[in-house]
Homo-oligomer: A and B are copies of this chain.
Amino acid sequence: MPEKTAHYSRTTCPLACALDLIGDHWTLLIIRDLMFLGRHEYKDMLNAEEGISSNILSDRLKNLEEHGLIDSIPHPASGRRKLYYLLPKGKDLIHVLTHLAQWSDKHLHDLVEIPPEKRAMLIKQPDKLIETVLKDLKAWEKMFLTNSIERSN
């Protein structure tokens, strides 16, 4: 976010400053891909149904890395590919995303479809949903990040 258009240059409001990082039409979808949909590669995010363009995707990934919400490692199968993953700062957005999905389910029900089993958990047991997602992310990290560290030694 260039200085002149960034809110943080004019305000210390927590909401305004957060919007400098995640307040656009695409960034939270990248967080969603990494958090809920197991899309860890550039090509997987590029092929998501919303049709993000490659220049926007590259720009947003770079921005998220620079601000410490995500990081990347070389793909185990090919050093030319990357695996992106959420850092704690990115993972902590899970509460925001969960409440946004609940809001959407309530108020945009003519547009939104959520598989019944997931919807039941989102509405009735959001804490359990969050716990499950964080556990899955931990398992992914254990598999890929541990291997990556071993390889680099």
Bound complex: CA of A17 vs CA of B105, how far in Å? 10
Q: Which residue of B lies closest to A104 (CB)?
A: B14
A92 → B minimal CB distance (Å): 6
Which residues in B have their C-beta under 8 angstroms from that of A28? 15, 19, 23
**Interface size range on A against B:** 35 or more
For chain A, residues 48 to 106, give those with C-beta under 8 angstroms from any C-beta of chain B.
49-51, 89, 92-93, 95-97, 99-106
* Min CB gap A37→B, angstroms: 9
Q: In whole angstroms, how far apart are the Cα atoms of A8 and B113 in the complex?
A: 11
Q: Is the CB of B10 within 8 A of A113?
A: no
Q: Would you call A18 an interface residue if the criterion is a C-beta within 8 Å of the partner chain's C-beta atoms?
A: yes
Whether A124 is near chain B, meaning CB under 8 Å from some CB there, is: no
Q: Are A11 and B103 interface neighbours, CB within 8 A?
A: no
- The answer to whether the Cβ of A3 comes within 8 Å of any Cβ in the partner chain is no
Determine the residue in chain B with the shortest Cβ distance to A11. Answer: B49
Chain B residues contacting A113 (CB-CB under 8 Å) are 12
Q: Knowing A7-B50, A50-B11, A112-B13 touch, does A104 contact B23 (C-beta < 8 A)?
A: no
Point out residues on A near B: beta carbons under 8 Å: 5, 7-8, 10-21, 23-26, 28-29, 32, 49-51, 89, 92-93, 95-97, 99-108, 111-114
